[in-house]
């Protein structure tokens, strides 16, 4: 668990591929990015979402996002780099503001906060 303290947490919401939403305006689907430096004992990541800053936050990924280094036979060059992740929130309403945060879960099944909640506003897609 102490390894997690060393995790460099970063959560950036970037526009995903343009999707049609409504007749008048298209919005991009929320895409979450984060990376971590150390993943010893990490099983994966859990993502939570809320419509308001004070919650309620609900888990949105049914399966845990697996840690890169938990993949067997990951080669040495992969192991030396920070692990980078992205998660496309297909269940979100792209026209709505959301708040997201990520927890890390260990191979022993214990959750721990990785990031603070981050706000993501709707992003219109330019035609």
Partner 1 sequence: MRIQLFLVPLLAMFGCRAALAVQQVPAALVFTPEQAMPVEVYRGDTRTLRFEVRNTSSRTISVSKVFPRKGKGGGTVEPGSLAPGAKGLVTIEATFPEALGEGQVNYLVKTDNPDKETELLEVNYFVQSAYEPDLMLLDLGDIHPGQRVRSTLEVETRLAPELRFDKVLSKPDWLNVEVKPSAGGSDQSRMVVATTTGQPPIGLNTTEIVLESNLASDRVLHIPVVARSCSNYGISPFPLTFGGVPEGQDKERTLRVRKFDGGKVQIKHIETGSPALRVKQVECGKACVDLKLDFDSMKARGGLRIALTISFVDDDVSLAVPIDALVVPIGVKSIELGDLDTLTVRGKTEILEPGK
Using CB under 8 A as the criterion, which residues of the chain lie in contact with partner 1 when the complex forms?
Answer: 1, 43, 46, 48, 55-59, 63-64, 105-111
Residue among 13 and 42 whose Cβ is closer to partner 1: 42
Residue 61 phi, psi (nearest 5) = -100, 115
Least distance between partner 1 and beta carbon 37 (Å): 22
Q: Which is nearer to partner 1, 43 or 85 (CB)?
A: 43
**DSSP secondary structure string, 65-124?**
EE-GGGSTT--HHHHHSPEEEEEE-TTS-TTS-EEEEEEEEETTS-EEE-S--EEE---B
Distance in Å, CB of 64 to partner 1, minimum: 6
- Cα 67 to chain centroid distance, Å, stands at 12
Measured from the CB atom, is 16 or 105 closer to partner 1?
105
C-alpha distances in Å from residue 112, one per residue of 80, 116, 121: 23, 12, 26
Min separation Cβ 107 and partner 1, Å: 5
Choose between 48 and 85: whose C-beta lies nearer to partner 1: 48
Closest separation in Å from C-beta 38 to partner 1: 18
């Amino acid at each position: 668990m102490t390894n997690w303290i060393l995790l460099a947490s970063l959560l950036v919401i970037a526009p995903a591929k343009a999707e049609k939403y409504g007749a008048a305006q298209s919005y991009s689907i929320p895409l979450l990015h984060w990376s971590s430096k150390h993943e010893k004992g990490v099983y994966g990541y859990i993502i939570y979402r809320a419509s308001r800053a004070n919650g309620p936050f609900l888990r949105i990924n049914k399966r845990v996002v697996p840690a890169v280094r938990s993949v067997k036979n990951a080669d040495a060059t992969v192991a030396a780099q920070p692990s980078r992740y992205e998660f496309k929130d297909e269940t979100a309403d792209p026209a709505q503001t959301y708040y997201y945060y990520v927890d890390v879960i260990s191979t022993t099944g214990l959750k721990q906060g990785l990031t603070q909640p981050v706000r993501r506003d709707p992003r219109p897609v330019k035609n």
